[in-house]
Structure 1
């Protein structure tokens, strides 16, 4: 599984953090999960989580002798950020958005309409036609 903006192991770590309930995890907890599936060193997991913290993707606080980590933004917020980057960097934003909307199925299209109505109510501005 590859998440845009992350290396392979970073994407795996972020996916595990995002899937976590509660939303926090220690290096040991994550290492135990990953080691059950593949060969990996504890220090590799520790340095990856530390790197994600240094890059601003994870935050942490001391929990005894360990750190407890959590994502700075949700998976959905991260995805929205990637979508914004694609919209801004993909040519003419109005055409990129139009092509994106044309590819939506009926359920996703209705979800977009609902989100736009909710935003209009929140901002007090009607949707532009």
Structure 2
């Protein structure tokens, strides 16, 4: 009665959709693992830096299941800038224009000690 074509598409969707979810999950896992390995294998550095910009990214609905990511852009003595994801507690303590000792490892923020002068 014409159900053959519809059944074929239905069965195909039950194969493709789970495969897409599996591929997406593996991609996200591998990307996160590579980022972790990069940070782990990078040296921990402490440099004099100035916080030049702060921003946050809010995701989710306004009613339930919201998440906020916090970022700060630091400028080091050479003039290079780096944006690092920071904790919400640090976001509230760091102001744009603050100078101090920034400690990071790879792309991972460790700490920022405001107004601490580097020892010559």
Coarse TM-score class (shorter-chain normalised): under 0.3
Greater RCO, 1 or 2 (C-alpha within 8 Å, sep 6+): 2
TM-score (norm 1): 0.21
| Rg larger in structure | 2
| More strand as a share of residues | 2
